[in-house]
Structure 1
Amino acid sequence: MIATNKVAIYVRVSTISQAEEGYSIDEQINKLKAYCDIKDWSIYDVYSDGGFSGASTNRPALERLINDAMKKEFDTVIVYKLDRLSRSQKDTLYLIEEIFNKYDIAFYSLAENFDTSTAFGKAMVGILSVFAQLEREQIKERMLLGKLGRAKAGHSMMWTNPPFGYRISKGDKVVSINPVQSVIVKRIFSEYIAGKPISKILTDLDTEGHVGRSKPWSLTTIKDILKNPTYWGKIRYQGELYDGLHEPIISEEEFKLAQVELRRRQDETFSRTNNPRPFQSKYMLSGLLKCGYCGSTLRIYVAHKRKDGTYPPLKYQCANRFSKDTKKRCNSRQYDKSELEATIISKLNQLRLNNDIEVVTKPNINKDELKQEIQAIATKLNRLTDLYVDGIINRDDLQKRRLALENQKSILESELAIDHDELLTRRKQTILEELGRLNLIEGSYVEQTTIVRKVVKEILVKTGSIDLMLDI
């Protein structure tokens, strides 16, 4: 050991709780400086990492320490406690063996009272590093158990990004319903269960200005909503479902119906095209037809092959026609696919000629709740300035948060300003324009299908009657 040591002091703290327990940066520095004074060692520099975890070596002060060690700017490194250097056995041994020992730098840990200049110290480093690694694994295990306990207690597992339709405030354990977004969630489930394709749901939401969202919808986003059990009051953690304390947006029955419909469409598409994507419709009226007696979806029925190798004409029938549940069983008959399609084309053509259109309105949005939401956003915008002035957030955070809130506020204000009567008039005109783009009777099947799927929301079918509901 050299007579006079040139010392690099390294200190680290990762959390406020560590500071409160006596590991604060200042306390570590004071104790290490006092020890250096006793030893009559000169201090080259203090390397301080505040707010950095010991789980990795990606720390600015530690990186600077390593660079200076390679330049041999000092001959001794001292820390208050071994886990201040690292909580990883691998990283601790790397720093001591590949950096400090390689460049003839002694390493001291004050709390454990050892140094690497002795054989005993080198042995102790390995042993204590093992325990530091064990401690970290125990912390991780406790965190996982804490999350499991949170899920079992029904508390939200999302602290910053709750699912669309919900919101959560700082410190809350349970998400609350966002009144504007929840209307959209209910609508997505309702329309999908009724047979509407996801692609049509997406187009409609984007056409209306994707209310409640700051960016356009996607197929994946809508599909994720349909698969998320949070909406019927559940908490999902590591593949298991637990009862949540939050208020559900839809019923359990609606959620399970959506899962059945997701699987049905995927299986149907796969068997038809050998492609498991459930978002494309093969037939003109797929997903649009509903039974006028029980309200269930009409589905394509493919009969068995004839002896001559041909198939009988395709038919539509109610999904409940042969239901195992006798209470749900529907006695409606089958409907010829070609006849239904011809009837719909004829009806649409007649509507175009007569200029006679009835449009299904979109779900009501409570304007009082919209105003409350806008006021809440305005309050958040005012608080942002206070957070910036108090130094809690920086300028970049201020601008990002302000832009996001202003976009959301703008969307809600636009929705509030919409004259729905005028909107209905415009929608009627849009339908007439779509119907007038081609000769419906003489158009190709693909052209007819494109128009039908753009303007038709739902078709109720009974024996001897077909009712069209249009929606753009």
Structure 2
Amino acid sequence: MRVAIYIRVSTDMQAEEGFSIEGQRSRLISFAESQDWTVYDFYVDDGYSAKDLKRPSMQRMLEDMENKKFDVVLVYKLDRLTRSVGDLHSLLKIFDLYSVKFKSATEIFETTTAMGRFFITLVGAMAEWERGTISERVRFGVEQMVAEGRRPGGVRPFGYTPDEQLIPEEAKLIREVRELYMSGLGYKSVAMRMNRAGKLRRGKDWTDATVAYTLENPYYAGIIRIGSKTPAGTYVNSKKDERVKCVYGKGSHEAIFTLEEYEELKAYMGRKSNGGFSPIATYWFSGVLRCGRCGAAMFGRMTTKRTTSKGTVRSQYYICSNRHHSKTCDLPMFRQTHIEHLVFQYINQIQADMEKLNDEAIKIFADEGRKNSEIDVAKRELSKVAERREKWKYMFVEGLIGKQEIRKKMAEEDEREKELRQRIVQEQKAFSGIPRIEELVGLAEGWSYFDDQEKKELIYTIFGEIIVNTDLKNVKGVKNKFFDAYIQDISFN
């Protein structure tokens, strides 16, 4: 009779006598020989729990059973096969379906009678109870660690060392991710902006998933959590979804966000995910608009609902994040239509004199050709410097010049090389930030035909930053009028 020997060890039982892989293997081989059975194959699951059947060797054994490659399954003990009564019944049905017998080397089971099946089910129930008891003890220990403010293992969060010390450079990136998200950008847009700026996450690109996880993780607010993640949009103490089984504790590590900032962030995420927040596409300038007084990002919000002759309406506006969060800035809020007006004022100023614009463009391109020529000249000079260095070395080796003279010559060449490299860098930098005039003209001409998403993407593609300011502090709203303000600076991508 062909026998399939199934062996399983969980991590905490590998060292126990009788339950190790080799311990089970030797006893099961001896048992098979005593029954005059031929071992077809060994199916070993090393370090897998018996809570379910999702084990590599278990699945391979079931597949071979379907192909009728053996006649009996042999285990050391029933709990090596499964600790779930439901899985036990499923396996016994599969064994019957393919006419495969089941045998435990240390227990006596008879599965062909009702009493035998009752007995094996009873033993299986005891194994399931034991697994549940072990799980409860482990869970209790982990919960106690959390209650004491200790983190129960796992991958160290970005921003901290393995011993939970804050890494200032990484913490700065985490705060920047939050600031970008609160300015109105989505997860993917935040990731793109961080990656484009070269601000990577432990040397790897940000993704929408890592941005979402970073924002949602309560660890950055000084909270340790075990269990399922709280769905985006619910608070850490929410009972909205009873399926979420989480335990929280106050950690001893240094937090990056205050609890108030984290609660604000979660509420913001909730409004976006539950439909109580206007879609991000309606905030055309989010992610690029900055405060001219403090330099902080400005993010979009909606006004409260108001009733007009056209029905209930809400308007978009932008507010400085420092004014909103800490009251440390007094820049007035700007309506989105006001920002739109200022941006196109800027573009119209460029377009005002097309002749001058064309002259400027011709000058720019001519200047670009001149600078490229100067860069080429500098690069040729660098090649000559390298050639002269080799000549001085040759002359020194041949005894044509002494030590003092070659040192002087090499120092001169070093200085010359440094000067040439600086010139190349300066010439290359001279063209960074030149506005792409054709894009600005196209933006102005097609703006009224674009939908919200297209407007958002165009602004994000063309502009790096748009900095707005005003000399006013207290602005009183005037219907259909803009207060005096100006664009302080614009940078281009």
Shorter-chain TM-score: which interval?
0.5 to 0.7
Instruction: Name the counterpart of 2:225.
Output: 236
Q: What is the aligned counterpart of 2:125 among 130, 140, 144?
A: 130
Alignment partner of 2:44: what SS? strand
User: Post-superposition shift, 1:80?
Assistant: 2.8
Instruction: Name the counterpart of 1:41.
Output: 35
Q: Which residue identity is paired with 2:175?
A: K
User: Post-superposition shift, 1:192?
Assistant: 4.1
Instruction: Name the counterpart of 1:455.
Output: 464
Q: What is the aligned counterpart of 1:84 among 50, 68, 80?
A: 80
CA contact (8 A) 1:290 1:298 kept: no
1:184 equivalent in alignment to 2:179: no
Paired-residue identity, %: 19
User: Post-superposition shift, 1:349?
Assistant: 6.4
Query: Following superposition of structure 1 onto structure 2, how do residues 42-61 of structure 1 map, counting pairs within 5 Å?
Result: 42-45=36-39, 47-51=42-46, 52-54=48-50, 55-56=52-53, 58-60=55-57
Q: Residues 300, 347 of structure 1: CA spacing in aligned structure 2 closer, same or farther, 3 A cutoff?
A: farther
Q: What is the aligned counterpart of 1:159 among 154, 157, 160?
A: 154
1:149 equivalent in alignment to 2:144: yes
Q: Which has the larger Rg?
A: 2
Q: Distance in 1 between matches of 2:443 and 2:24?
A: 86
Q: Which residue identity is paired with 2:173?
A: I
User: Post-superposition shift, 1:99?
Assistant: 2.2
Q: Distance in 2 between matches of 1:264 and 1:36?
A: 64
User: Post-superposition shift, 1:135?
Assistant: 2.1
Q: Distance in 2 between matches of 1:317 and 1:79?
A: 68
Instruction: Name the counterpart of 2:259.
Output: 252
Alignment partner of 1:145: what SS? helix
Q: Residues 28, 451 of structure 1: CA spacing in aligned structure 2 closer, same or farther, 3 A cutoff?
A: closer
Q: Distance in 1 between matches of 2:348 and 2:174?
A: 34
User: Post-superposition shift, 1:156?
Assistant: 3.9
Q: Residues 159, 444 of structure 1: CA spacing in aligned structure 2 closer, same or farther, 3 A cutoff?
A: same
Alignment partner of 1:456: what SS? strand
CA contact (8 A) 1:301 1:317 kept: no
Moved more, 108-117 or 130-139: 108-117
Alignment partner of 1:103: what SS? coil
User: Post-superposition shift, 1:159?
Assistant: 1.9
1:279-308 Cα offsets, whole Å, 9 max, x none, are: 3234557983659599886856579555x6
Q: Residues 129, 213 of structure 1: CA spacing in aligned structure 2 closer, same or farther, 3 A cutoff?
A: same
Q: Residues 292, 429 of structure 1: CA spacing in aligned structure 2 closer, same or farther, 3 A cutoff?
A: same
CA contact (8 A) 2:191 2:208 kept: yes
User: Post-superposition shift, 1:185?
Assistant: 1.3
Instruction: Name the counterpart of 1:433.
Output: 435
Instruction: Name the counterpart of 1:18.
Output: 13
Q: Which residue identity is paired with 2:465?
A: V
Instruction: Name the counterpart of 2:404.
Output: none
Q: Distance in 1 between matches of 2:272 and 2:430?
A: 31
Q: Distance in 1 between matches of 2:285 and 2:269?
A: 19
Tell me how many residue pairs correspond in the alignment.
382
CA contact (8 A) 1:66 1:99 kept: no
Q: Distance in 2 between matches of 1:467 and 1:344?
A: 7
User: Post-superposition shift, 1:92?
Assistant: 3.2
1:27 equivalent in alignment to 2:20: no
Q: Residues 135, 280 of structure 1: CA spacing in aligned structure 2 closer, same or farther, 3 A cutoff?
A: same
User: Post-superposition shift, 1:128?
Assistant: 0.9
1:369-423 Cα offsets, whole Å, 9 max, x none, are: xxxxxxxxxxxxxxxxxxxxxxxxxxxxxxxxxxxxxxxxxxxxxxxxxx9xx99
Q: Distance in 2 between matches of 1:212 and 1:294?
A: 24
Q: Distance in 2 between matches of 1:126 and 1:313?
A: 65
User: Post-superposition shift, 1:250?
Assistant: 3.2
User: Post-superposition shift, 1:41?
Assistant: 3.1
Gaps in structure 1 of 5+ consecutive residues: 1-5, 169-173, 356-418
User: Post-superposition shift, 1:42?
Assistant: 1.8
Q: Distance in 1 between matches of 2:270 and 2:446?
A: 31
Q: Residues 101, 126 of structure 1: CA spacing in aligned structure 2 closer, same or farther, 3 A cutoff?
A: farther
Gaps in structure 2 of 5+ consecutive residues: 231-235, 237-247, 352-356, 362-420, 473-483
1:338-374 Cα offsets, whole Å, 9 max, x none, are: 555434444566689899xxxxxxxxxxxxxxxxxxx
Q: Which residue identity is paired with 1:152?
A: A
Q: Distance in 1 between matches of 2:426 and 2:217?
A: 32
Q: Distance in 2 between matches of 1:62 and 1:203?
A: 41
Q: Distance in 2 between matches of 1:69 and 1:312?
A: 66
Q: Distance in 2 between matches of 1:90 and 1:103?
A: 20
CA contact (8 A) 2:184 2:280 kept: no
CA contact (8 A) 2:286 2:299 kept: no
Q: Distance in 2 between matches of 1:217 and 1:157?
A: 26
User: Post-superposition shift, 1:435?
Assistant: 5.0
TM-score under structure 2 normalisation?
A: 0.58
TM-score under structure 1 normalisation?
A: 0.60
Q: Distance in 1 between matches of 2:441 and 2:32?
A: 94
CA contact (8 A) 1:47 1:61 kept: no
Q: Which residue identity is paired with 1:288?
A: L
Q: Residues 285, 19 of structure 1: CA spacing in aligned structure 2 closer, same or farther, 3 A cutoff?
A: closer
Q: Distance in 2 between matches of 1:145 and 1:342?
A: 61
Instruction: Name the counterpart of 2:185.
Output: 197
Q: Distance in 1 between matches of 2:116 and 2:316?
A: 84
Q: Distance in 1 between matches of 2:217 and 2:203?
A: 21
Alignment partner of 1:56: what SS? coil
Q: Distance in 2 between matches of 1:104 and 1:285?
A: 66
Instruction: Name the counterpart of 1:373.
Output: none
1:50-84 Cα offsets, whole Å, 9 max, x none, are: 5144332745378558847985965x655332212
Q: Which residue identity is paired with 1:243?
A: K
Q: Residues 28, 142 of structure 1: CA spacing in aligned structure 2 closer, same or farther, 3 A cutoff?
A: same
Q: Residues 58, 461 of structure 1: CA spacing in aligned structure 2 closer, same or farther, 3 A cutoff?
A: same
Instruction: Name the counterpart of 2:201.
Output: 212
CA contact (8 A) 2:290 2:320 kept: no
Q: Distance in 1 between matches of 2:442 and 2:300?
A: 24
Q: Residues 459, 57 of structure 1: CA spacing in aligned structure 2 closer, same or farther, 3 A cutoff?
A: closer
CA contact (8 A) 2:6 2:42 kept: yes
1:115-143 Cα offsets, whole Å, 9 max, x none, are: 55777644422221221222233334344
CA contact (8 A) 2:291 2:468 kept: yes
Instruction: Name the counterpart of 2:241.
Output: none
CA contact (8 A) 1:288 1:456 kept: yes
Q: Which residue identity is paired with 2:249?
A: Y
User: Post-superposition shift, 1:176?
Assistant: 4.6
Q: Residues 197, 351 of structure 1: CA spacing in aligned structure 2 closer, same or farther, 3 A cutoff?
A: farther
Query: CA RMSD of the aligned region, Å?
Result: 5.2
Instruction: Name the counterpart of 1:3.
Output: none
Q: Distance in 2 between matches of 1:70 and 1:334?
A: 73
CA contact (8 A) 1:10 1:78 kept: yes
